[in-house]
Structure 1
Amino acid sequence: MWHRGAVEPLDASDAPDAPVPPLRVAESVLREPAHRVSRRAVVMWTVQALVVVALLLAAQVVWWLVDDAPSRTPHWVVGVVWLAAGAAYAVAMPQWRYRVHRWEATPRAIYTQSGWLWQERRIAPLSRVQTVDLERGPVAQLLGLASVTITTASAAGPVTIHGLDAPVARELVDTLTAAAVTETGDAT
């Protein structure tokens, strides 16, 4: 739960040319959201990464077949680089995303943290929620997972939580929908 507090004023001793320190809200700390996504999300992200790697290797094979150059050395070099980079991606990315992805729903807002190289924290007030959607792709369905997308009246776009257990996702959709309906904001 977030705490409300007064904004502390800047010290009068701060020089005009000094960098402006961030505003501090008394007794408030932007912490990580409380809930992790399902551990099975690692499997889902690994499968998705392997699909990308397979497509890159398929493109490599097509290049091999259509190229009539006398030397195949560039093909081998590029193929080995793609394979090594793809293997590193398929192993590291899902684990890192799992460590970063978190979510939390409060009576007033939905709070998410996502990404792996580019990380993002978003807080969407329920008064701004326009739609709440549950999505399940083929891999997610096999693993019993789902994603929840919350569309808000924000230029930043929707908030999506990937890799939730399907029952948790359904409950979150029901809870957010009910809370958004009772919220008095205009969602615009």
Structure 2
Amino acid sequence: MSAGLAEDLVFAPPSADVLSAGLHPLDRRYVNVIRIMTALVLLPVMIAATVSEFALVAEGVGEHGMIIAPALALCAFILVFLPQRKWKRWGYAASDEQLRVARGWMFRTDTIVPFKRIQHIDLGEGPIERLFGLASLTVHTAGTHNSIVTLPGLARDRAEAMRDAMRLHIRREAE
């Protein structure tokens, strides 16, 4: 592992808040990825609200805006605040021996993966992630429970450097 990468991948002690724990946050561009993916989920909600409202107005039951306006307000609220909040709740750290991935707020998950347990490493990027130059690092370990740990929202070059550092460590352990 290069000295520069080893300095960047500092392991931090456990803490309730990801950013104050000394963990590295995900790439800031990941907020946009979350926002777009959330918008794609909310699109059917807005379509259903629009169709319902037009059907009710056509029957003379209500007025325009009675369903669309609250649905639009709710969707706007979700699109503005949820992605930022979700991004803040992810963090990661790595040492020469292990990878730590912490996420969540109400239901918190803090996973530590020793490099010696890693079986293989995937680097993936969907079309939205690719648009922003991001990738997800997926680590597969032995066992069944929590055997797959995914770290999304990494800059592509950062994800490649982490993958290569883990691969180097695994090769050294095998020798």
- Give the TM-score of the pair, scaled to structure 1: 0.71
What amino acid sits opposite 1:165 in the alignment? A
Question: What is the root-mean-square deviation of aligned Cα atoms in Å?
Answer: 2.7
Distance 1:161 1:122 in 2: 11
Bigger relative contact order (CA 8 A; separation at least 6): 2
Q: 1:33 to 1:149 in 2, by over 3 A?
A: farther
Which segments of 5 or more consecutive residues in structure 1 lack a partner in the other structure? 4-28
Identity over aligned pairs, percent: 26
**2:5 aligns to what?**
none
- Report SS of the residue matched to 2:28: coil
Q: 1:127 to 1:48 in 2, by over 3 A?
A: same
Q: 1:139 to 1:146 in 2, by over 3 A?
A: same
- Report SS of the residue matched to 1:148: strand
Q: 1:71 to 1:119 in 2, by over 3 A?
A: farther
Distance 1:161 1:2 in 2: 15
Number of aligned pairs?
159
Distance 1:82 1:163 in 2: 29
Which segments of 5 or more consecutive residues in structure 2 lack a partner in the other structure? 1-9, 16-20
Q: 1:54 to 1:117 in 2, by over 3 A?
A: farther
Distance 1:114 1:148 in 2: 15
Distance 2:140 2:70 in 1: 39
* CA distances 1:18-43 after superposition (whole Å, capped 9, x unpaired): xxxxxxxxxxx424353111111111
What amino acid sits opposite 1:127 in the alignment? K
In terms of fraction of residues, the more helix-rich structure is: 2
- Give the TM-score of the pair, scaled to structure 2: 0.76
Query: Contact 2:121–2:138 (CA<8 Å) still a contact in 1?
Result: yes
1:145 maps to 2:134? yes
1:47 maps to 2:31? no
- Report SS of the residue matched to 1:89: helix
